[in-house]
Chain A
């Protein structure tokens, strides 16, 4: 089982749609969780951290279920500018330190 697994995608949605991304992780000792956004041929940029209580930032809502080892990201009212690859990221103990482990990413294309 891969350490971090995401919906394979791609997701093609019209402007204004609501889209949900799912992610599961295998290491129960993982401590922190993030969604990063990566535009084509650019570096990943932090979109939001994910907390057990759930957190919202404008049109974006992230949820964490530690018991199920499941993370989600909901984007409401999709904009063209939301087109990117969304990376689920888990901070887990590794050899000597915590390490960020990335999912493969889910590509989102928002269509006019």
Chain B
């Protein structure tokens, strides 16, 4: 069975540009979460989506937005890119939104470099 997939693998952008990252969850999983991991740190929660609705949001500016589609895939958008947005962006899927106990499985990530 395919795991979580993300595209693109790598991306280089310049300051001020906009970027869209994509994620397909494990088949049957309905919840998708996005994380940002800067070098030397653990991943930091950005968003959780379940059944196409935003269910949780981390401490990120409004330049970050996301959505989930009827097939449960998801996109993360970042506007007005800053140098500090350079990071590995991870998508994780889980079966439900009952994430007090549900296990999240991570995709390989998209490595974004902002010049």
Contacts and interface: CB of A to CB of B under 8 A. Distances in A.
B103 interface: yes
B56 A97 contact: yes
Interface residues of A, number: 27
Residue of B43, B55, B97, B101 with highest tally of chain A CB at under 10 A: B43
A103 B43 CA distance: 8
Interface residues of B, number: 31
Given A102-B43, A103-B42, A105-B42, A32 B101 contact: yes
Interface SS of chain A: helix, strand, loop or mixed? strand
Closest 4 CB pairs of A and B: A102-B42, A97-B56, A31-B100, A98-B99
A18 to B, nearest CB: 24
Contacts of B7: none
Contacts of A103: 42
Nearest to B42: A102
Contact of A100 (B33, B40, B88, B107): B33
